[in-house]
C-alpha cells in the first residue's frame, strides 16, 4: 500500500534535502511543508521527483504546517501518512515499521524512551510528565508524547481536526483521536539528538500543552 511522508520544516537548509531523499527510499511520496523559512531551505528540494513542496509565506507553527501537509496527502488519496521532523532526529528507515503497525493501530508513534542516554535531561523529564498526563487524559498508555515521528491511517486524519497551530497541536491530536475511540500504538525507535538548537520553546510549549489538557 502506498505511503506518503509529510515533513514540515522551518530554516533547515542543512538537513532538508537529506531527510527528503532518505524518506523517498521508504515512502512513495513526500509532502514537504515550508513553514515560512527565511534561509531558502525550499530551494534545496524544489526540483526533486515525487515531492510536493508547499510554501507558506509566514511561520505559522508546526501544527498548522502538519495540517496543511495532511490535507494535501488526503487530496492525493494516500491511505497511510507518516509525519517526521526535518532536523534528522527521525531515521526514515523506520517508516516501513510504522506503516506495518498501522495494520493493527489507527495511530502509531515512535517511542524513544527505551534509550534515554542522548536525550537532554530537561526533555526527558518533561516528556515523561506530559506522557503521563496525556495517558490520564486519553485513557490510553502514551509512551512518548513529544515524538513527532508518527503514522496515521487516512481515515483518522479525515476525522480529527486540530485547532492549535504550534507544537501543542500534536498533543491535541492525540486527545481528540482518543475521544473518538481511535487506537494508539507505539514502536521503539532510537533517540537521536544533535548539537543543533531546538526550535521548541519550553515555556511556550508547556503553556500550550496545559491549554490542551484543560480545554480539550
3-state SS, residue 133: helix
Residue 203 is predicted with a pLDDT of 63
Q: Give the model's pLDDT for residue 60.
A: 95
* Pairwise CA distance, residues 56 & 64, whole Å: 10
Helices (H), the chain: 16-23, 62-75, 95-101, 121-138, 154-159, 168-179, 202-215
pLDDT digits (tens, 9 = 90+) for 91-148: 999 999 999 999 999 999 999 877 666 666 666 677 788 899 999 999 999 999 889 9
For residue 112, the model assigns a pLDDT of: 84
Q: What is the pLDDT of residue 216?
A: 66
What does pTM read for this prediction? 0.90
3-state secondary structure of 185: strand
Q: In this structure, what C-alpha cell is assigned to residue 178?
A: 482518543
Tens-binned pLDDT, residue by residue, of the chain (216 aa): 599 999 999 999 999 999 999 999 999 999 999 999 999 999 999 999 999 999 999 999 999 999 999 999 999 999 999 999 999 999 999 999 999 999 999 999 999 877 666 666 666 677 788 899 999 999 999 999 889 999 999 999 999 999 999 989 999 999 999 999 999 999 999 877 665 565 655 566 677 777 788 776
Say which residue the cell 490520564 belongs to: 136
Please compute Rg for the chain using Cα positions: 16
Contact 147, 111 (CB under 8 A): yes
Enumerate the β-bridge partners of residue 172.
none
Q: Which domains are delineated in the chain?
A: 3-215 (3.90.550.10)
Amino acid at each position: 500500500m502506498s505511503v506518503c511522508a509529510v515533513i514540515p520544516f522551518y530554516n533547515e537548509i542543512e538537513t532538508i534535502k537529506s531527510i527528503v531523499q532518505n524518506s523517498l527510499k521508504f515512502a512513495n511520496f513526500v509532502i514537504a511543508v515550508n513553514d515560512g523559512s527565511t534561509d531558502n531551505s525550499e530551494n534545496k528540494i524544489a526540483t526533486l521527483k515525487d515531492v510536493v513542496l508547499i510554501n507558506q509565506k509566514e511561520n505559522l507553527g508546526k501544527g498548522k504546517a502538519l495540517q496543511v501537509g495532511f490535507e494535501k496527502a488526503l487530496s492525493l488519496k494516500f491511505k497511510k501518512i507518516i509525519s517526521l521532523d526535518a532536523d534528522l532526529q527521525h531515521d526514515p528507515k523506520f517508516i516501513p515499521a510504522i506503516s506495518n503497525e498501522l495494520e493493527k493501530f489507527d495511530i502509531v508513534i515512535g517511542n524513544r524512551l527505551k534509550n534515554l542516554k542522548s536525550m537532554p535531561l530537561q526533555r526527558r523529564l518533561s516528556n515523561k510528565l506530559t506522557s503521563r498526563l496525556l495517558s490520564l487524559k486519553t485513557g490510553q498508555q502514551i509512551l512518548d508524547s513529544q515524538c513527532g515521528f508518527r503514522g496515521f491511517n487516512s481515515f483518522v486524519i479525515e476525522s480529527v481536526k486540530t485547532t492549535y497551530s504550534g507544537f501543542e497541536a500534536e498533543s491535541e491530536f492525540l486527545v481528540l483521536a482518543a475521544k473518538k475511540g481511535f487506537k494508539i500504538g507505539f514502536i521503539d525507535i532510537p533517540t537521536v539528538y544533535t548539537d543543533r538548537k531546538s526550535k521548541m520553546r519550553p515555556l511556550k510549549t508547556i503553556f500550550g500543552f496545559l491549554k490542551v489538557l484543560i480545554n480539550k
